[in-house]
Amino acid sequence: MEIPEADWWAAGLYVGGVDEAGRGALAGPVVAAAVILPPGEHPFRDSKTLSPRQRERLEARVRAVALAWGVGVAEAAEVDALGVLRATHTAAGRALQQLALAPQALVTDYLHLRTALPLRAPAKADRDSPTVAAASILAKVTRDRLMAELDAAYPHYGFARHKGYGTADHLEALARHGPCPLHRRSFAPVAQAALFRTQSSDKNDPGLI
């Protein structure tokens, strides 16, 4: 396996890896993370291949060994206003701004950021690049924790279980309760649930003829 940042490491560059979590969810923010690792062997791999316990353990290791790391968030309202791709870029930019060390090159998982830095954005970078894998772990764990906290504020939807993704129980809760402020109303299942609730309310309004 060829590591995308290997030659940059050999040249002595600080390489920032960027990845996101929550881009496809129906509710909650997009969370991006940026990580600069020291050159060498690292145990990090794509967060999607890890169990929650493995992610938690490796997230602590990312924070311990990284030369710098940062997290950026784009809220659901920003996703609706900007579109999910621009909101993802916004979250990534905020994560990069949090780095205590300036990167000299960037690797992302097919996220073509607008930057003056040298950028590599291959598909499956979260599999092949330890730096991007570290960012994927940090973004995923951060977002999962946030959704678990938000579950207490909006207990009808099960955010602690499904983290805002379009599972069957989430869609059922949407149909029953309608969207809450965490939902992305520009996403079709949420928009349909909101429209259904509005139509149902109109039919049940005794003031309507």
Binding residues for a divalent metal cation: 19-20, 109
In this structure, the number of other CB atoms found within 10 A of the CB of residue 172 comes to 12
Binding-site residue positions: 19-20, 109
Question: In this structure, what token pair is assigned to residue 109?
Answer: 């998982």
Among 6, 12, 42, smallest CA distance to 104 is for 12
C-alpha–C-alpha distance, residues 193 and 180, integer Å: 11
